[in-house]
Amino acid sequence: MAVTTPQQATGQVAIRASREPRNVFVRMYRQWADYAYIFPALFAMFFVIAYPIAYTIYLSFYSTPTAGDNVWNGLTNYTSIITAERFWMITQNTMYWTIVSTILAFIIGTGAALIAQREFIGRGLVRGIFLIPWVISHVATAYIWVWIFHSDYGLVSGMLMDLGIISSPLVILDSTTWAMPALILVNVWKDFPFIMIMMLAGLQTVPDHLIRAAKMDGASTWQQFRHVTLPHLKGVIIITLLLTIVMNLNHFTLPWIMTGGGPASTTHIWITEVYALAFRSLRFGIASAFSVVLFIIMMSMAYFYVKAMTAGDDRRR
Amino acid sequence: MAEVRLDSVIKYYDNVLAVDDVSLTMKDGDFVALLGPSGCGKTTTLNLIAGLIEISDGEIWIGDRDVTDLDPKDRDIAMVFQNYALYPTKTVYGNLAFPLQMRKASKDQIDERVRRTAEMLSISHLLERRPRELSGGQQQRVALGRALVRDPRVFLMDEPLSNLDAKLRVQMRAELKRFHQDLNATMIYVTHDQLEAMTMADNIAVMSDGRVQQYGPPEEIFYDPANLFVAGFIGSPAMNFLYGEVVVEGGVTSVKGDEGWEYPLTPENAQKASHATNGRIIIGARPANFILSREEAPGLIPGSIYTVEPTGDSTFVHITIGEQIFVAITDPFFRADPDDPIWIDLEDERIHVFDEGTEEVLRVDGLNSQSQHGRRTLQPA
């Protein structure tokens, strides 16, 4: 009869561990079926994502005259972008647009979530109404608000004049001062339901017994929110903020349709600028270089996003 | 410390009656257990005392204050939750300090009390940890500490031991009882575990269907159950119930069992049985009050062995009488084979006589002083 001593037992474990192949290719070969399953998706992604990105990077080092072949010009596209005053103005516009939109949408969305979470008669209806902006397409939203802001026929001007608050029509989307705030207003109106949904989902996971414990401990409604709800929502808040920031940075439809970047480029943001450079001015090289800069910025955001997501995984484990 | 008084408390959830006219007085410094099966309304009652749910009707008094409409924070009570409900993002120190911070205690005061409480519960070495780094027993202590730290007038505990393993539960049970004795605080303790209630409580309120079935010290609940529910709920193995008709023949009162047996009653029990509303009674006999005999004799109840379970200290004998199976506890060396005939005598002064119609206990004078249908405030006997 074989008696296993502890030493022998550890020896066996060591042998078994050493049988696990060190070579990553051997291990990949053993899991070939897994790779086969994801191959179709990877194959498609190569053509619609990897190839365009690679081609964009390639183009960013070339001058692309409308007539004739592309000419290698090294980093010239990049240096001309970064040294141009216009780039910094547009970056400023983009930051203004993104930060203010995100903060306002977050505050309003969280408030809406707190309201929609409470139990009251007609809650379903209120939730439904809050969701309306989210289900209207961006293009439709843009045209609705262009009409509302229209100086001669618009709802805003008309109502204010009827009420006698102003005497001449308000110029909004054609004003260098008011065009951007108006765009942000529309963007917040359009985006807050998304934040509401995210926060509502988060709020519903706040354990009831913690709220009750806080009540027993003497916490006021605000203190319950501050000490129990908010810490519990930290993960949701980070992810929602990151997603909203990326969405806003990438936003094209609203500014492009409502103002086309005008007046005097005051509402041009990165994306509209890239589009205008490429498809209006046909300066593909410089547009590509611009895209690569944005790509790097977005990827760094993505890094934080993935990190925030996986931090949650670790906590669950 | 304070007395807690419930006065005709009623709670409806939508149209479901969860707490049905409960009146109870929990004396200052008492350890009161609310005991009952799940869904009996015990946790709802506790939450009503805590102020976590709104009362439908009735009044709740703590000391000389009517707290019926006060917020939980204004009732000066602390609660220990079944799943501990520790704040996961705060350290143990933060958890213990929280109730004091909410009451705007000074930093020094908080520090002093947190450390003293931690010392008392032997968790001083855990103060910097977070709840998820603690074992179940340690979390339990922190939860207890959070209740102790601010010295409330009343402690409420909602099945605080039910998430612990069996060994730890026995240990914490003793600790809790000791705490209660040291602090001399009013504690209201919800449990479905009769052993917890019996071992720790000064008084037990047995609840079922939203009503208090009986309220009194553990011995009274065990030895003098007010009705069939309490009799059947308390005790393990459960009390045996023998159903039968009261017959009087030649001046002797006996019970004629549905299975055909006939058991003569002592004059005292006959007196009790005479109050039965429809001439039928239920005899309640605890397993230990069955006396087994292998010899047939007049006045014994015939049965047959179903199975025998030796437990070491004693032997559980399962006996078939008619279609039903009863349990007797007998000496540790009793052995028998299945289907062996057996005759049962009862310890007459220990058995209980219940009215089959009302399921209330029958007493010599016919009155059940513990009946809760009189809508009076129940005082522990």
* pLDDT tens sequence across A77-122: 888 888 888 889 999 999 999 999 999 999 999 999 999 888 888 8
Q: Which of residues 259-288 of B touch A (CB under 8 A)?
A: none
Chain B residues touching A219 at Cβ < 8 A:
73, 98, 102
**Does the pLDDT value for residue B166 go beyond 70?**
yes
pLDDT of B291 = 94
Q: Which of residues 188-207 of A touch B (CB under 8 A)?
A: 207
Confidence of residue B150 (pLDDT cuts 50, 70, 90): confident
Dist CA B168 CA B269 (whole Å): 44
pLDDT of A9 = 44
User: B174 — contact with chain A (CB < 8 Å)?
Assistant: no
Token pair, residue B238, equals 């459960």
The structural domains of chain A, ordered by start, are 49-83+283-317 (no CATH), 100-282 (1.10.3720.10)
- Sheet containing B154-158: order of strands: B77-80, B154-158, B186-191, B31-35, B203-208, B211-216
Dist CA B26 CA A10 (whole Å): 61
Beta-strand pair B280-285/B240-249: antiparallel
B51-83: pLDDT as tens digits: 999 999 999 999 989 999 999 988 889 999 988
Confidence of residue B120 (pLDDT cuts 50, 70, 90): confident
Mean of pLDDT values over A303-316: 68
Chain A residues touching B78 at Cβ < 8 A:
216-217
Using the beta-carbon criterion (under 8 Å), do A209 and B72 form an inter-chain contact? no
Mean of pLDDT values over B225-235: 94
Mean of pLDDT values over B305-322: 93
Dist CA A118 CA A228 (whole Å): 17
Token pair, residue B166, equals 């069996």
User: Tell me, what DSSP letter sits at residue B76?
Assistant: T
Dist CA B6 CA A60 (whole Å): 80
Q: Is the dihedral of CA A302, A303, A308, A314 positive or negative?
A: positive
Beta-strand pair B280-285/B352-355: antiparallel
Token pair, residue B266, equals 């002592």
pLDDT of A316 = 41
Instruction: For A228, name the nearest residue in chain B, comparing CA atoms only.
Output: B87
The answer to whether A230 and A219 have CB atoms below 8 angstroms apart is no
Chain A residues touching B73 at Cβ < 8 A:
215-220
Number of H helices, E strands in chain B: 9, 20
Pick the closest to residue B37 from B177, B233, B324, B285 (CA basis). Answer: B233
Instruction: For A317, name the nearest residue in chain B, comparing CA atoms only.
Output: B132
Among candidates A220, A228, A234 on the partner chain, residue whose Cβ is nearest the Cβ of B87: A228
B330-B334-B335 Cα angle (round to 5): 135
Best mutation target among A209, A212, A216 (most B Cβ atoms within 10 Å) is A216
Token pair, residue B101, equals 């911070």
A241-282: pLDDT as tens digits: 989 998 999 889 999 999 988 788 889 999 999 999 888 888
pLDDT of A23 = 81
Strands, E assignment, A151-267: none
Chain B residues touching A217 at Cβ < 8 A:
73, 78, 98-99, 102, 146
Using the beta-carbon criterion (under 8 Å), do A216 and B73 form an inter-chain contact? yes
Q: Is the dihedral of CA B66, B68, B72, B74 positive or negative?
A: negative
Pick the closest to residue B156 from B319, B6, B345 (CA basis). Answer: B6
A19-34: pLDDT as tens digits: 666 788 888 888 889 8
Beta-carbon pairs below 8 A across chains A and B: 60
pTM: 0.75
pLDDT of A18 = 52
Dist CA A159 CA A66 (whole Å): 49
**Does the pLDDT value for residue A12 go beyond 70?**
no
Dist CA A10 CA B333 (whole Å): 48
The answer to whether A81 and A286 have CB atoms below 8 angstroms apart is yes
Using the beta-carbon criterion (under 8 Å), do B73 and A227 form an inter-chain contact? no
Q: What does pLDDT average to over chain B?
A: 90
**Does the pLDDT value for residue B346 go beyond 50?**
yes
Using the beta-carbon criterion (under 8 Å), do B103 and A207 form an inter-chain contact? no
User: Tell me, what DSSP letter sits at residue A188?
Assistant: H
Using the beta-carbon criterion (under 8 Å), do A212 and B87 form an inter-chain contact? no
Chain B residues touching A214 at Cβ < 8 A:
87, 98
Chain B residues touching A234 at Cβ < 8 A:
89
Residue B378 dihedral angles phi and psi, to the nearest 5°: -80, 125
B237-258: pLDDT as tens digits: 999 999 999 999 888 899 999 8
A183-A189-A190 Cα angle (round to 5): 90
pLDDT of B227 = 93
Beta-strand pair B31-35/B203-208: parallel
